[in-house]
Chain A
């Protein structure tokens, strides 16, 4: 019998999944190729820069009260004017960006620290563990975040920290869901089957194969949740459930400005603009990163 006998039934050759063979452009090239990644990067970069600079220098001390200069118009002395206590708006915005970023980072970290392991366990254990975890996540998701924040503020006192915990817990289910669906996808791949065939334990597969492969997914999700967390922190501060005065916070500045809305509307415009820009920036960055980190992700959505 010669070696040229073709198979009886010729199975259609499984095609490599999209993205498997594609030539990978350098990271920066792909980044620059995505308009939203560039725009988001610039906006977020500017906010981060402002926050860092505010640590060392602001035009005026953000807490310095100067009643004589209250409600100053924007001008060379005060670029964005002053508020009802004569505090420099630009300085407070810069210092507030630090609060905003800090609140975003910590609440996203809290959400991820609980949500990601929960999602991984749900995906790898399946069955009852999965039902239980995802059920719990649904309950948390259904509970109004604002109510949780009010309860927490009542119990522990209003502070940036309580706001961050409330936001983090509220977004925990989002991480759990994203992680679980991403992990299930990775767990069904051939290379996980191969890893099991050479003796990898379940826990090691999650650590060495699943986690690295869903990292892009988690980064994108973090960026998108970051913008929601900023908005939530501002809202809580506005309601007096977050950063207490006189510490500079965009939400608190907005609240302070509403009493003088007709006298000096610009006072409300600046923090509002800052919040809107930050949310836009992180949203754009998240969308851009989605394209940059994982071109296959768009098709799967």
Chain B
């Protein structure tokens, strides 16, 4: 059985500099999959590559299969027909995601008019229903409003309504709650989860926040330097991370959330160094310049190995020498 979305050896380069390299994963039907990593690790570029929305200058290679069709080699016309209908995306920044000159209702209706061929009135009615489903208090009022009259949380709900309007098989959410405040974050996450369930959409949730992924996703992919370094069930990865990078992430997050160690400044464990700029990643294992376990063997690129819980590392944590 193939998944809802099959990503095979996806790579993206920007003028010859690799941004994403050899990313393969499968998003199963109805699954909620997390993609986690620091800023600059290539998460968002991966999402844009899947959607065929890479900015000018970036080129994708490999395959992204949606129901047997390869999105990477697909023409723009066919891709437009699939986007919003079979595969949809929610972006990070809701404040600028809506056309400032169009009433919100009309923008939601637009999705239905494109893909369902609905007339103005029919689409407007369905849009109203969608705005209600994303738990907006006054759907009719929101539909009449211009984007600047809505709050960030309201706008992100509108974006969600647009994304699920056609019950897509795959919903890509790129940091959907990062720009929102904590209370709203929580509500929006619950909403994403509920809508994905109701529509039967598989969810690819991109985040840099372990807590968000832990709460939402059954499985998680860890990305660093444009490569997948670890993949597995969320519970396993959080309790027994194998890749030193993941281990560092988890330790940092755990220290911050534990009440005892949290308040003392300077006591937080941190990953040494920072993410290098694009094109400055080391050859071989991309993490080896920040890794305390690196040696000569790390000069070769490690492959993602393991069946259920896979890791791309020559010296995984917790196996052999801990």
Contact = CB atoms under 8 A, between A and B. Distances in A.
Contacts of A198: 83-84, 88, 110-111, 114, 162-163, 165
A8 B95 contact: no
Interface residues of B, number: 51
A5 interface: yes
Contacts of A193: 53, 91
Given A3-B211, A5-B256, A198-B84, 11 more contacts: A3-B186, A4-B257, A195-B99, A197-B83, A197-B84, A198-B83, A199-B80, A200-B114, A201-B80, A202-B76, A213-B100
A9 B99 contact: no
Interface in A177-228: 189-191, 193-202, 208-209, 212-213
- Mostly, the A contact residues are loop
A270 B229 CA distance: 81
A37 B262 CA distance: 59
- Mostly, the B contact residues are helix
A126 interface: yes
A6 interface: yes
A263 interface: no
Interface stretch (A14-22, A43-51, A68-76, A147-155): A14-22
Interface of A: 1-9, 11, 13-14, 16-17, 20-21, 24, 126, 189-191, 193-202, 208-209, 212-213
B101 interface: yes
B27 interface: no
Interface of B: 38-39, 51, 53, 56, 76-77, 80-85, 88-89, 91, 93, 95-102, 110-111, 114-115, 148, 159, 162-163, 165, 178-179, 186, 208-211, 214-215, 238, 249, 252-254, 256-257, 271
A1 B257 contact: yes
In order of increasing CB-CB distance, the 8 nearest A-B pairs are A198-B84, A199-B84, A5-B211, A190-B96, A199-B83, A197-B89, A7-B209, A191-B99
A21 B147 CA distance: 9
B148 A20 contact: yes
A298 to B, nearest CB: 18
17 contacts: A1-B210, A5-B253, A6-B209, A7-B178, A7-B209, A8-B208, A190-B93, A191-B100, A193-B53, A198-B83, A198-B88, A198-B162, A199-B84, A200-B114, A208-B110, A212-B101, A212-B102
A199 B83 CA distance: 5
